[in-house]
A = this chain, B = another copy of it.
Amino acid sequence: MSQGVEWALHTCLNLSWLDAPVPTSTLAAFYELPPAYLNKQLQALARAGILTSTSGPRGGFQLARTPAAISLLDIVAAIDGPEELFQCDQILRKGPGEHAGVDYRQSCAFAQAMRGADLAWRRELAGKTVADVRADVERGHPEAPANTRARIVELR
């Protein structure tokens, strides 16, 4: 899993406490991240429909939907792509037997087993939303929303 996933997750959580666009520079300063690179991840989130972007002064990024409608899987897929964890290279085609027209990504027993595990992973991620995580955080740190909002204003 790439580093950008962690940045995207925390940035989405922070944005869930805000209701106005926040520019990349501010979001990057929050965790001392490289602004230009974070911007790439934010663009990916925007392309995936998780964030909306607005240009110009007072512009920036904000959540495109309610936090309850954004799963961790949405964010992971937006950053790391939709590929499965295990990529079947169909080495069976190089083995003995007849291979014409056989797609071993479907028929290979290992590919099927790995896909099953992949689906279990995705099911977990799809079942957890940004709203869930936010609730977890607020349970342990009720001051987190106010602190985050204050810090964002301070960094603008």
Contacts and interface: CB of A to CB of B under 8 A. Distances in A.
Contacts of A51: none
Interface stretch (A53-61, A62-70, A84-92): A84-92
Q: Give the most central of A33, A109, A114, A124: most B CB within 10 Å.
A: A109
Interface string A120-141: 1111110010001100110010
A30 B122 CA distance: 34
Contacts of A125: 113-114, 117
Contact of A1 (B86, B94, B116, B137): B86
Q: Give the most central of A87, A95, A123, A132: most B CB within 10 Å.
A: A95
Given A72-B117, A120-B121, 6 more contacts: A9-B110, A13-B110, A31-B95, A85-B121, A113-B124, A118-B121
